[in-house]
Amino acid sequence: MTSPEIAMETDICSIVLQPTTLCNLNCDYCYLPDRAKRRVMEPGTARAVAESIRSQALRRGGIDVVWHGGEPLTLGHAAFSELLEPFSGMPVTHVVQTNATLINAGWLALFEKWEIEVGVSIDGNRAQTRHRVDRAGSAAFDRIMRGIERLRSGQFAFDVIAVVAEPEPEDARELYEFVVELGCRSLAVNIEEREGSNTRVRTYMPEKVRGFWAALADAWIDNPAIPVRELERVRHAMAPAGETSREIQSRHIDPFPTVAWNGDVTLISPELAGYTPFSCGNVREKDLHQIIQEGMLSSWISEYRRGLSLCGDNCAYFDFCEGGHPANRFFEHGRFDTTETDYCRNTKIALVDGCADDGPKSRGPDIKSALLDSDRMRRLLAIPEFGAGNEMPARFDNRPTWDNRGNNPPFDNRPAWDNWDKKGWSKKKGK
């Protein structure tokens, strides 16, 4: 396989802002290193970001501003409103990823005023959400559910991201049926990753991970009530040419900037935020676009590009995976020009193989034809899309594990905690 040309983008369609490092929970798989410390973004930092992106937002017709901590709601209504004010009148979509435990009437009023899209982090039913605990070790499930009920009572649409710490095939259907019953718009599923402060090594049996994805695919085929990010990725990658398949002649790396609480900017992988060697500058000292232009030429991003080329040359799954994400490479291998990671194996390769009756019999150059020659894959692709006006992105979306939106950059390497097309089909349900 010949690796495609990998180009560097400097325009942005989304930006992550960290309003605070503090989180009121202490999930045992969390990657955030400073989640016990209350460090907060000053309004001047938000103002600097707003001024930097204003002209591009007007030119593009909109930019997504994703607020992700820490737990953003620990900031409080008043302080959070101060951070939103600099964006007033701009064509931006605000998104908050929250554990929902602090949602109350005040937050619902703020969500409504600013038309904020809400993503909720919950891992399934009570037993499946056992890893989400507070600092005393008490389960957070009941508090999360109360927050979700407040969203539902206020008729606020929301999306769900679930982290799966132990992928067991028998849990997959239970997870899917639970989130459908919640009434959410979409589901994104992250197999636990080793990154940031989460250094524990999870060694999963490959057949169990494949079985988990297979069972999730079967549950969705039986009742395709909501999009599941990972299955939509498979459906796009495997779609016949001329329908929703991707152009693979070139890849574009989205800069996807993250602005930390203190104004430091990290590119491509938000999970690298807070690690000094990867900071490209500070928005309080330099224009964001200049930071991006200079940062995309940094040595670690050049190293990452070399790793992408190696993946393109050597991996039969590259057209689906598109090379993975820098943070996984760094936290697993200590550098960026390596190839296969646990994230690749668990969330890319096992996913495709699970959707194709345990994978192709051969991993040769015509792997797509081999994958398509399976009953489960044919049934997965036979499900119609979600109707007129609810179309999935025209290009396959390879954003990292926390991202699940539908902004359609040619190559999208965002992480895993964001949640599908908040501006597309899901708007149909509205608030």
pLDDT given at position 410: 33
d(CA 78, CA 81): 5
Q: Residues 6 or more apart from 192 whose CB is under 8 A from it?
A: 29, 163, 164, 165, 198, 202
For 110-119, the pLDDT digits (tens) are 999 999 999 9
- Residue 169, helix vs strand vs coil: helix
**pLDDT at residue 367, as a whole number:** 80
Give the whole-angstrom CA distance, residue 208 versus residue 204: 7
% of residues, the chain, pLDDT over 70? 82
Q: What is the spatial distance between Cα 182 and Cα 290, in angstroms, rounded to a whole number?
A: 43
- Position with higher pLDDT, 323 vs 262: 262
Which residue, chain included where needed, has tokens 């299955």? Answer: 231
Q: Are strands 92-98 and 63-67 parallel, antiparallel or unpaired?
A: parallel
> Confidence band (pLDDT; 50, 70, 90) for 8?
low
Q: Are 328 and 341 in contact (CB under 8 A)?
A: yes
pLDDT band at 103 (very low <50, low <70, confident <90, very high): very high
The predicted model scores a pTM of: 0.87
H or E element, residue 190: strand 187-191
Among the ranges given (79-83, 189-193, 236-240, 258-262), the one the predictor scored with the smallest mean pLDDT: 236-240
Q: In sequence order, which ranges of 223-325 are alpha helices (DSSP H)?
A: 229-238, 288-295, 299-314, 318-321
Q: How far apart are CA 396 and CA 410, in angstroms?
A: 8
Residues 284-290 have a mean pLDDT of: 96
111 contacts 103 by C-beta, under 8 angstroms: no
- Asked if residue 193 has pLDDT above 80, the reply is yes
HSE of 205, CA atoms in CB hemisphere, 13 A = 6
Spatial neighbors of 140 by CB under 8 A, at least 6 apart, are 25, 99, 101, 129, 132, 133, 134
Around 61, how many Cα atoms within 13 Å sit in the side-chain half-sphere? 2
What the block records as the tokens of 262 is: 């203190």
Say what the pLDDT of residue 387 is: 40
pLDDT tens track for 205-221:
999 999 999 999 999 99
State yes or no: pLDDT of 271 exceeds 60: yes
Q: Cβ atoms within 10 A of the Cβ of 95, count?
A: 22
Q: Hey, which residues does 164 pair with through a beta bridge?
A: 191
Q: Give the per-residue pLDDT at 7.
A: 60
Where is pLDDT greater, at 155 or 394? 155
Average pLDDT, the chain: 85
Instruction: List the one residue out of 74, 71, 75, 94 whose CA is nearest residue 84.
Output: 94
How far is residue 208's CA from residue 216's CA, in Å, rounded to a whole number? 12
| Residues in CB range of 52: below 8 A, 6 or more apart | 283, 287, 288, 289
**What's the pLDDT score for residue 428?**
33
**263 has pLDDT over 80:** yes
Count the Cβ atoms, other than its own, within 10 Å of residue 255: 28
Q: Give SS3 for 54.
A: helix
| Sign of the CA dihedral running 270, 276, 280, 282 | positive
Nearest CA to 325 out of 279, 266, 371 is that of 266
Q: Which helix (H) or strand (E) holds 15?
A: strand 14-17
Q: At what angle do helices 169-182 and 206-222 cross, to 10 degrees?
A: 40
For residues 264, 270, 274, 276, the Cα torsion angle rounded to the nearest 10 degrees is -70
Give the model's pLDDT for residue 336.
Answer: 95
CA 83 – CA 77 distance, rounded (Å)? 10
Res. 405: pLDDT tops 50: no
Please report the pLDDT score of residue 139 as a whole number.
98
Inform me whether the pLDDT recorded for 414 exceeds 80: no
Query: How is domain 5-428 classified at the architecture level of CATH?
Result: Alpha-Beta Barrel (3.20)
The alpha-helical segments, DSSP class H, found in 350-418 are: 350-355, 367-372, 375-382
Measured in whole angstroms, how far is the alpha carbon of residue 378 from the centre of its chain?
26
How big is the CA angle at 160 (ends 88 and 420), to the nearest 5 degrees?
A: 65
Contact present, 263 and 288 (Cβ < 8 Å): no
Q: What is the mean pLDDT of residues 178-204?
A: 93
Please check the confidence at residue 306 and state whether its pLDDT lies above 50: yes
pLDDT of residue 21: 96
pLDDT of 416 reads: 41
How does pLDDT run across 51-75, given as a tens digit for each residue? 999 999 999 999 999 999 899 999 9
Residue 3 has pLDDT above 90, yes or no: no
By C-alpha distance, which of 55, 44, 45 is closest to 90? 55
Query: What local confidence, expressed as pLDDT, does residue 358 receive?
Result: 62
Report how far residue 399's alpha carbon sits from residue 317's, in angstroms, rounded to the nearest whole number: 16
* pLDDT at 244 exceeding the cut of 70: no
Cα-based torsion angle of the residue sequence 302, 307, 311, 313 in order, rounded to the nearest 10 degrees: 70
Alpha-carbon distance of 320 to 1, in angstroms, equals: 13
pLDDT at 34: 92
CA angle 31, 276, 342 (to 5 degrees): 35
